[in-house]
Chain A
Amino acid sequence: MTAGGAPARWCLAAALLVPAGLAAQGRAAEEPAFSPLASLTFDRPLASGPDTFRVFEQANERVTRTRELRWSGDYSLELRDVRGSGDFPELLGFFPLRRSGQVFVHFALLVTDPRDELNVALVGPNGFRLEKDGFAVWLSVRDGFLRHLSDSIPKRLLRLEPFTWYQIDLLYDVALGTYTLAIEEEGAAEPAVRLIGQANAASHPGSAVDKFSFVGDPFTDLSKAVYYVDDIVIGADEEIDPPRLAAPGRRRLFVEMAVDDLRERMAAAAAAEPGEADRWNGLILAGDYALAYREAREKAAGAAGEAAWLERAGDAALLDGDASLALELYRAAAAAGASSSALLLKRADAHFLLGDLAEERRLRERIYGSLEPRRE
């Protein structure tokens, strides 16, 4: 491992990335200023959640903080794929949607065997598709080389050395749908790669981004890649208020997010004949939590839909600020047969509001996973 760290390298690389137009305006000495959208150095425990990241790992696969190999600080992230496992490990990170401006991405990467496949992507709200608002940047390693997909054409970038850190800096212009890419190899005096004006993955100007992903081999399940990632920093070229987390890993409580989803669904179905659940949803949207609670309790006493109505009563209680009552009702709903991820997450909310952070974390991580080593 090389001493030093990402911040100094980031500045160096950022200087490389100053658009030519800025130099012409006499601003060559100024480094671009970025507001952080996401930052994962892995040096302290990080909370998973819908506004931070989600971990996918099966059986013997691993997405784990480790001290084994790191670029800076005390920890990096190890991703370990298992051939023939039927799945692939993934770190899926979330950041506020960017539909304009420039997005800066920095990370350090070390592969133990460059022949094994892994993929790194910056994508938008349409997910992992070759279309607008899908893939913006797609880097992959296989057969010993790092490649990128630009204008739907796979292109070699460089031959990778095993157990060598590479610093990857990328500046993505959302409106133009192009990016600048700089890659430095550990110990090398000159950048290994320096490309400007690269069309995004499927050449779609205006392709938005809101996620990043590090995975093994999602297609053939042949990879046994073991690789390390450190110092993931994502920034925007304009001032953005840092997200305030209402609970670990999330800006709002899950039940509040559910209400937002409900508002959108109700608006979309405004012309529909309201049923019982729609009437109750209307009470929630109107903020009449007390009446919504009473109605849900009455309906839960009936035979049909007991679990669903107990959960709704819990939602009303939680939104009304009574986390103890909500937790009691969520437990009753679970005992009556409710078993959704949403219920788990709402129970996590209640525990958070009651100050039981250990139980909140246990429930949340059943959905979003954890970077901490698993206890076998």
Chain B
Amino acid sequence: MLAAAGAGGLGHPVAAAAQAIDRGTLEAAVAALDGEAIEQIGSDAMPVLVAMYREAGPAERARIATVFYQLGWQSEEAKEALMEDIHTTDETLRIQVQWALGRVSNDDDVVDALLDNMRNGFNALVRDKAGCGLAYDQIHLNERQKAALYRRLIERLEDPSAEQRSLAIRVLQAHTGQTKGFHPVTRNAEAVARWQTWLAEYEAALEP
């Protein structure tokens, strides 16, 4: 159950087996986008995947980013490698990186980068998919980090750009299941006030 409630993925590395990592096996799994095969190998596969990522061209990097996405394992080294491409002009790679980042890291700078791409991405598709990454793939955020993300999204409900208001409410709706009556065209202040009240209640409920 609950699979569509906003989280997902495998969540954690399986205890790694004490074995040498066969790079050929990983390359075959990446070619087939077979995250389950890599899951069987365990977390020892991550450093090898990151090395493969750094050596690869944009198309192969996009495939490895997709595998990081499938695994959903937190990895500082995967995050660092992906962050180097967060502003790439290769559209496919950029989108895959935006989707994968939240599934390998819950660092604040990942959210910062995605919010920045949602505003400053080089085309509407990239901006939209940055919003998708914020909506569906921030699987490791704790409640306090979620509150911080919601605060910035609620601020963006008053953005001069209709696109930004639309993306912000869609991300909020994905996380909460609600719009609180906000529409990006009418920009009703009452709805924004409802979101602000809600955020205050959310923050008050945060656990120490």
Contacts and interface: CB of A to CB of B under 8 A. Distances in A.
Interface of A: 84, 86, 90, 92, 119, 121, 123, 127-131, 134-135, 151-156, 201-204, 213, 215, 218-222
A219 B2 contact: yes
Contact of B2 (A131, A152, A215): A215
The DSSP consensus for interface residues of chain A is: loop
B177 interface: yes
Contacts of B178: 130, 151-152, 202-204
A156 B15 CA distance: 31
Interface stretch (B6-14, B59-67, B75-83, B121-129): B6-14
Contacts, number: 76
A201 B177 contact: yes
Given A156-B207, A201-B177, A218 B2 contact: yes
A134 B1 contact: no
Nearest to B198: A151
Interface of B: 1-12, 14-15, 139, 143, 175-178, 198, 201-202, 205, 207
Contact of B11 (A119, A151, A222): A222
Contacts of A154: 143, 205
Top 10 closest pairs, chain A to chain B, by CB: A130-B177, A202-B177, A220-B11, A152-B176, A219-B7, A128-B2, A218-B2, A128-B1, A129-B4, A153-B202
B2 A204 contact: no
Contacts of B202: 152-153
Contacts of B143: 154
A215 B1 contact: yes
B3 A128 contact: yes
Contacts of B205: 153-156
B4 A127 contact: yes
Contacts of B176: 130, 152, 202
B77 to A, nearest CB: 21
A135 B4 CA distance: 11
Contact of B4 (A92, A128, A202): A128
A152 B11 contact: no
A213 B2 CA distance: 10
A152 B147 CA distance: 12
B175 A220 contact: no
A343 B198 CA distance: 50
Contacts of A202: 176-178
A90 B177 contact: no
21 contacts: A86-B10, A90-B1, A92-B1, A119-B1, A121-B2, A123-B1, A127-B4, A128-B4, A130-B6, A151-B201, A152-B178, A152-B202, A153-B205, A154-B205, A156-B207, A202-B177, A202-B178, A203-B177, A203-B178, A218-B2, A219-B9
